Structure 1
Amino acid sequence: METRVRLEPWSDGDFWLLERKNEPVMTAHLGGPEPAGKLADRQRRYEAMSAREPAAGRMFRVVWEAQAPDGSDGSDGSDGSDASVGSVGFWEREWQGRPVYEAGWGVLPEFQGRGLAVAALTELLSYVRAHGSRDSVHAFPGTDHPASNAVCRRAGFECLGEVDFEYPPGVSHPSFDWRYRVDTVRHGGVTPSG
């Protein structure tokens, strides 16, 4: 059965999900959990992203559309209802002197291993193709994070090699630079070449 997800713009009701994503198991490759004040600031930033012009970036709650169309008993992990399973988003940044987007995602532990991160990232890339203004999306998972690197590969990103990447700010660690070339950028009618 195809893994289907829907992206919902981040809202004030999604703070519980941000708290779940701040647990040690979810932040092991991101410098560890953030203190409460930083988490509240992150919530405000995510909500503000939903109010900006779409090409500036967005944060989304990932909803697994888990209904089994054949009426099965849910043995595939579905209980027949949609479930909020994580987040995915993109934002503007400069990388190696060029304006690009950066993407990030996280799927809650109990939903991992079902292809949901790949499905969410694929939906996000469709959104970027429709609304974006930059010709590429980059992701920078640590070299020690095979699952996130596999998500990039399966979503169609190209690995450009190893780089030192700062996250959290001020903390550099070895990462892979994955790039997804956006087919068509709507704003300005730009079609990237080569």
Structure 2
Amino acid sequence: METITLRPWSADDIGLLRLANTAKMTAHLNGPETEEQLAARSARYLRLRVTGEARMFVIEDDATQAVGSIGHWKSEWRDEPALETGWFVVPEAQGRGIASRALRLLIDDARVHRDGRRFLTAFPSVTNPGSNALCRRGGFELVGSITETFRGAELTMNEWVLDLETER
């Protein structure tokens, strides 16, 4: 099984966002972003890392090829400080267990950098079987679903939570 690593997001990684900004890859996120939105997102990843509000990573395979991204950021969940996570793996790297291994590494990082926050949350679309299965395999508990506006349209998401104080 190939080894994967997480390395901090850099300004040079915006191309990875572009690779994932296809209709197929964003079908469960209400569609692609504009170039301006991608640039703003990449800049936000860098800015929030400096302020300690987020830890965004590039997922690299054995050949140090960028195959996706994953991260966690400070948020609120049910009126309590929490961390939230999100991810993607480019199509040509899917089906190799990369997302599962990246999520395990991310959970370990979140436990170290949780800043007193107990829960790690994830909100994949209810129509995204891959991400929902990843949450289940990652030890998250499905606690409900919510509908919110995301990228200008309503999106119904499953609400997954992992207790960072409980070792797996």
Length-normalised TM-score, structure 2: 0.91
Structure 2 unaligned blocks of 5 or more: none
CA RMSD of aligned residues (A): 1.5
Which one has a larger percent strand, Structure 1 or Structure 2? 2
Q: Which amino acid aligns with 2:49?
A: S
**Aligned 1:43-62 pairs, distance under 5 A:** 43-53=42-52, 56-62=53-59
Aligned residues of 2:59 and 2:67 also touching (Cα < 8 A): yes
Greater C-alpha radius of gyration = 1
What is the identity percentage for the equivalent residue pairs of Structure 1 and Structure 2?
41
Partner of 2:164: 182
Whether 2:121 is the aligned partner of 1:122: answer no
Which stretch has the larger CA shift, 90-99 or 121-130? 90-99
Instruction: Look up the equivalent residue of 1:38 and give its one-letter code.
Output: Q
How far is the alpha carbon of 1:11 from its aligned partner?
0.4
Specify the code of the residue in structure 1 equivalent to 2:156.
Answer: P
Q: In the comparison of the two structures, how many residue pairs are matched?
A: 165
- State the alpha-carbon separation in 2 of the partners of residues 11 and 117 from structure 1: 20
Q: Deviations over 1:66-99 (max 9, x none)?
A: xxxxxxxxxxxxxxx2321000011111222111
Amino acid at match of 1:63: E
> Structure 1: which 5+ runs fail to align?
66-80, 185-194
- Distance, in Å, in 1 between the alignment partners of 2:142 and 2:82 is 15
SS at match of 1:141: coil
Residue matched to 2:7: 8
* Residue 57 of structure 1: how far off its partner (Å): 1.7
Partner of 2:128: 145
**TM-score, with structure 1 as normaliser:** 0.80
Counterpart residue type for residue 100 of structure 2: V
Residues 76-115 of structure 1 aligned to structure 2 (within 5 Å): 81-115=63-97
Q: 2:146 aligns with which of 142, 145, 163?
A: 163
- 1:31 paired to 2:10: no
> Which residue does the alignment assign to 1:77?
none
